[in-house]
Amino acid sequence: MKSTGIVRKVDELGRIVIPIELRRTLNVAEKDALEIYVDGDQIILKKYEPACIFCDDARDITVYKGKNICKNCFGELANR
């Protein structure tokens, strides 16, 4: 894991500010969803990108009955 050297304090509501330089570099815009992971004593933020429940591909996603399915897997299911 790479350190940025940036330190931010948590405010009284539990919020932190992600610096604009990092948001630009990581392509995180206002209103984008972030996933929160915990790894031991570390908190990891990752830009949320819905992925296929079968192959984990994030391209050409269709929501079918509340589940994310990519175009390829949807085609395979349709041919069964």
In the block, residue with structure tokens 């050409």: 60
| Burial class (CB within 10 angstroms; exposed 0-12, middle 13-18, buried 19+) of 14 | exposed
Secondary structure (3-state) at 27: coil
Query: Would you give the DSSP letter of residue 25?
Result: H
Concatenate the DSSP letters of all residues of 36-78 into one string: EEEETTEEEEEE-----TTT---SSEEEETTEEEEHHHHHHHH
Q: What is the pLDDT of residue 61?
A: 92
Q: What is the DSSP letter of 26?
A: T
Ranges of CATH 2.10.260.10 domains, the chain: 1-48
Question: Is 1-48 in CATH node 2.10.260.10?
Answer: yes
Q: Please give the chain's pLDDT, 80 residues, in tens.
A: 788 899 999 999 999 999 999 999 999 999 999 999 999 999 999 988 889 999 999 889 988 888 899 999 999 988 88
